[in-house]
């Protein structure tokens, strides 16, 4: 089996297929997780009770045990501030907002059964366990079309291309999936369902005593705050939420995008409405970046894991948000079993594991700048709304 894509989706599928007895290779063009996976806020989002009810069940039955078995800790201090449009949330238990949050939301705060995780730790653990089945290199092309018989790969640092024989090809290449599928099978109804939309992230960091490690889905403010605490302090990953919006096809494989200052100004305004104490938080620093998320259709929580139209052995598995990677891994295993039997001793992969490393989280990469809160606020436009595209 050949899996194309070194994000969380590709690694979870690789893990599932190897566990079922298949000989597999995963091809990643760059550092593992360096695209959409490490752009994320490290939240196992189950749809906040607003979408598919299967998502919370899958989290409890599939995803949480997956993390526990690998020694990856999950935290669960999540609060949702609801809106009347989502009556399903009213069944959640009430909770209290910590000091510093606006009293205007205190009476409506509910406890949300969501979990957070250390995104970098997850990728390091998965990569360590699967490293010898990972090839770092570029996909040059394919041999055969009906079916695809092999993936042609140029390993990084090598002048000699290799072929990865494959009875099944799984495309889980994040923002590169749409382009790759079009190359393989052309434009289909499936490829046209794949949408890339902008996501902005504002990172705030302070000492633990200065900033609470509380994660909040503030629906009235269209704001998501994912809090992570470590030995050095607390980091808030803040996302101004948008449903739908413009879609882009010409996106880079690393999912990086330009930042729109107007969107940062919107996030700042919503943050101050949610947590007015930010203005007086000692040592608070801020940074920001933007990237692309992948949607299937016009709303989040939709996923695709199916044999691609115009092929007999190419499976598309995306996107990598919510709990989709684990649900897709289950579905992918079922599809692969219908196409090929497991068996045989896995042979060593040419270049397997060579140069394979986990990427840095965006906020740890060169070029990311932490700015004091007051300076950051002064740099923002005073009014306006984002107009990407």
* Average pLDDT of every residue of the chain: 90
Which pLDDT score is estimated for 384? Answer: 44
Over residues 354-371, mean pLDDT: 91
* Percentage above 90 pLDDT, the chain: 70
Which pLDDT score is estimated for 16? Answer: 96
Which pLDDT score is estimated for 112? Answer: 87
Are the beta carbons of 55 and 46 closer than 8 angstroms?
yes
- The tens digit of pLDDT for each residue in 197-211 reads 999 999 999 998 899
From 73-87, 96-110, 283-297, the region with the lowest mean pLDDT: 73-87
pLDDT-based confidence at residue 232 (cuts at 50, 70, 90): confident
Over residues 185-200, mean pLDDT: 93
Range 261-286 burial, b when 16+ CB lie within 10 A, else e: ebbbbbbbebbeebbebbeebeebbb
| Position 386 pLDDT exceeds 60 | no
Which pLDDT score is estimated for 347? Answer: 78
Separation CA 205–CA 21 (nearest Å): 44
**Full-prediction pTM beyond 0.85?**
yes
Q: Who's near 65: CB < 8 A, 6+ residues apart?
A: none
Separation CA 44–CA 113 (nearest Å): 10
In this predicted model, which residue has the larger pLDDT, 81 or 46? 81
Instruction: Report helix, strand or coil for 190.
Output: helix
As given in the structure block, the two tokens for residue 255 are 């999912």
From 85-99, 108-122, 328-342, the region with the lowest mean pLDDT: 85-99
| Position 48 pLDDT exceeds 90 | no
Which pLDDT score is estimated for 375? Answer: 96
Instruction: Give the number of other Cβ atoms within 10 Å of residue 335's Cβ.
Output: 18
| Position 346 pLDDT exceeds 80 | no
φ/ψ of 264, rounded to 5, equals -65, -40
């Amino acid at each position: 089996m050949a899996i194309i894509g070194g994000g969380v989706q590709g690694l979870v599928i690789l893990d599932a297929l190897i566990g079922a007895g298949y000989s597999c290779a995963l091809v990643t063009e760059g550092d593992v997780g360096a695209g959409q996976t490490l752009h994320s806020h490290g939240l196992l989002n189950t749809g906040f009770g607003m979408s598919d009810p299967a998502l919370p069940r899958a989290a409890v039955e599939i995803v949480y045990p997956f993390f526990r078995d690998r020694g990856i800790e999950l935290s669960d201090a999540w609060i949702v501030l609801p809106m009347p449009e989502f009556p399903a949330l009213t069944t959640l238990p009430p909770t209290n907002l910590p000091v510093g949050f606006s009293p205007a939301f205190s009476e409506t705060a509910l406890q949300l059964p969501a979990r957070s995780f250390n995104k970098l730790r997850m990728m390091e653990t998965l990569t360590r366990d699967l490293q010898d089945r990972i090839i770092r290199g570029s996909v040059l092309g394919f041999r055969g079309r009906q079916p695809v018989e092999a993936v042609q790969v140029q390993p990084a640092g090598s002048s000699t291309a290799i072929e990865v024989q494959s009875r099944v090809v799984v495309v889980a290449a994040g923002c590169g999936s749409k382009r790759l599928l079009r190359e393989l099978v052309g434009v289909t109804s499936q490829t046209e369902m794949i949408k890339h939309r902008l996501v902005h992230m504002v990172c705030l960091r302070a000492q633990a005593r200065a900033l609470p490690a509380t994660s909040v889905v503030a629906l009235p403010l269209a704001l998501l705050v994912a809090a992570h605490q470590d030995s050095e302090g607390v980091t808030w990953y803040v996302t101004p939420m948008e449903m739908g919006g413009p879609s882009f096809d010409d996106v880079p494989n690393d999912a990086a995008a330009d930042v729109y200052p107007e969107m940062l100004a919107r996030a700042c305004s919503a943050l101050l409405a949610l947590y007015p104490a930010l203005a007086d938080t000692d040592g608070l620093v801020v940074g920001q970046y933007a990237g692309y998320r992948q949607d299937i259709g016009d709303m989040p929580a939709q996923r695709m894991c199916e044999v691609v139209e115009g092929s007999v052995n190419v499976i598309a598995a995306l996107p990598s948000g919510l709990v989709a990677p684990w649900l897709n891994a289950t579905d992918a295993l079922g599809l692969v079993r219908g196409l090929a039997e497991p068996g045989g001793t896995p042979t060593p992969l040419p270049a397997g594991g060579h140069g394979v490393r986990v990427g840095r989280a965006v906020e740890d990469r060169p070029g990311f700048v932490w700015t004091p809160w007051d300076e950051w606020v002064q740099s923002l436009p005073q009014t306006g709304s984002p107009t990407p595209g």
